[in-house]
Structure 1
Amino acid sequence: MQDLKLETIFDAIGELFSDEASIAVSNTEQYIYYRPSKRIDLKIKNGDPVREGTIAYKALTENQKVSEFIDRDLFGVPYYGMSVPLCQGGEIKGCVSAIFPTLATGKSVVTLKYNDGWVPVPFSEIMYLEASDRKTHVVTEKCSGTHKYTLNEFDFLLPKEDFVRCHRSFIVNVKHIKEIYPDTHSTLILIMSNQTKIPVSQSYTSYFRKLLTF
């Protein structure tokens, strides 16, 4: 193992995810390695600076794992990224980022399994999604059905301006929230437009309040 070069290791990691994820490695100031995937290429070059607003910049400045959507303003294409700081002797030396395509491009509907068939539903009609019994249940204005994607996969698919993760088991459409009430232990309860009560867990409450500015 001592004879292996870091670039060889990164190439092998990149090959594992070559169909979906691009891999970028940076020090605290600039990128030192980049391998594009077949699905998304941010055109990063070795020596390019780590720009403010990127997933790498956020991991470096926040000194923690970061995963979120980044809009098209920075690289010309939107992407979903995960980045982890590289620390040595208690000091940040850089970070590794995995860059995924956003599945929302060109899509505006979710096709649900309903009775013995399927129903295409526009994003705007989805009220919330719930992970239950090893299935993802999608509740809409007109019907409820199931989908093969997990909630994590729906985090890629659904437009971030309308849909918010509020619990490990729920994603809600903020345009279908009717009321919000405080609950025990700094949590919240959402009353949806169909009167369903949905919890906002403690780990998501601060994030949820920040997004909805209250």
Structure 2
Amino acid sequence: MVLKNFKLMGEMNVNQISTTHLLDTFSEVFPEDTSIAIADSRTFIYYKPSPVIDLQIKPGDQVKQGSATYKAFSLRRSIFSYIDSSVFGVSYFGLSVPIFNNGKPVNCVTAIFPMRKNYSLPAFFTVKNEDCWYPVAVSDILYLEAENRKAKIVTEQIQGYHKFNLSEIEYLLPSEYFIRCHRSFIVNVRAIAEIQPDFHSTFLLIMNNGDRIPVSQSYASYFRKQLMF
């Protein structure tokens, strides 16, 4: 229900939405320990901290690179992501939805959820290869690929399929190391050996095992910003 409400809001024209309306909607949907941030394309224009988590955002603060709000603006779509403490000094989960006006994202609403023990990111995933299951350390993953509605996880030693699809497993990966570069691929930036230019301002990633992963045009700009080149 929460994701559905967010998607519907993202489809609305910004002129139809007021801050009061958004906050009333959020109060009904989210628990009291959720903080709320509203931003335009450059700065935060509203912030309501919760008693449990406070990112110390003030109206007028720049939208920080790496934040959930920044990701939603950059990707031009709703995102739910784990954000580590390097951005605001506090780790959190962010659910962000851009609001469009004439096809352009002009505002973004973010629900900020506190980290709890049951929110901890996994250190291992278990993948199936033929008739056996193998635990794979997250740090050993080179990349993940969407295949047959499941996430194929590739390491230098083994590859196999996880029961979650790529979008579901994306939320369980540390965002400081794993970046989506294509609708079908998520890569571990520590496992990239080389970045080559490709057609139409896109890129080709050469991974440590020699596999070649495309960076699609939709993700090229976001990818460059994240890797700062």
Q: Which bracket does the TM-score occupy, shorter chain normalised? A: 0.5 to 0.7
Find the counterpart in structure 2 of residue 173 from structure 1. 188
- The percent identity for this pair of structures is 39
Q: Distance in 2 between matches of 1:192 and 1:206?
A: 20
Find the counterpart in structure 2 of residue 96 from structure 1. 109
Find the counterpart in structure 2 of residue 24 from structure 1. 36
Supply the RMSD in Å over aligned alpha carbons: 3.9
1:137 aligns with 2:183: no
Aligned residues: 192
Find the counterpart in structure 2 of residue 112 from structure 1. 127
Quickly say closer, same or farther: Cα 1:191–1:10, change in 2 above 3 A.
Answer: closer
CA-CA distance at 1:104 after TM superposition: 7.3
Q: Secondary structure at the match of 1:12?
A: helix
Find the counterpart in structure 2 of residue 78 from structure 1. 92
Quickly say closer, same or farther: Cα 1:124–1:43, change in 2 above 3 A.
Answer: closer
Which structure's residues are more often helix, by fraction? 2
Give CA-to-partner distance per residue, 1:32-83, whole Å, 9 cap, x none. Answer: 6x789xxxx52589xx844544668759x99x76745543363733323314
Contact (CA 8 Å) 1:22, 1:100: kept in 2 or not?
yes
Q: TM-score, normalised by structure 1?
A: 0.68
Q: Secondary structure at the match of 2:171?
A: helix
CA-CA distance at 1:144 after TM superposition: 1.0
Q: Distance in 1 between matches of 2:207 and 2:68?
A: 36
CA-CA distance at 1:136 after TM superposition: 1.0
Q: Secondary structure at the match of 2:142?
A: strand
Structure 2: gaps of 5 or more residues: 1-19
Q: Secondary structure at the match of 1:153?
A: helix
Contact (CA 8 Å) 1:104, 1:157: kept in 2 or not?
no
Q: Distance in 2 between matches of 1:104 and 1:157?
A: 9
CA-CA distance at 1:147 after TM superposition: 0.9
Q: Which has the larger radius of gyration?
A: 1
Question: Of the two structures, which has the highest relative contact order with CA contacts closer than 8 Å and spacing of 6 or more?
Answer: 2
Q: Find the partner of 1:42 among 41, 53, 60.
A: 53
2:213 corresponds to which letter in structure 1?
Answer: I
Q: Distance in 2 between matches of 1:192 and 1:153?
A: 23
Which structure's residues are more often strand, by fraction? 1
Deviates most, 117-126 or 106-115: 106-115
Structure 1: gaps of 5 or more residues: none
Quickly say closer, same or farther: Cα 1:165–1:82, change in 2 above 3 A.
Answer: same
Find the counterpart in structure 1 of residue 139 from structure 2. 124
Find the counterpart in structure 2 of residue 194 from structure 1. 209
CA-CA distance at 1:157 after TM superposition: 1.5
Find the counterpart in structure 1 of residue 222 from structure 2. 207
Q: Secondary structure at the match of 1:195?
A: coil
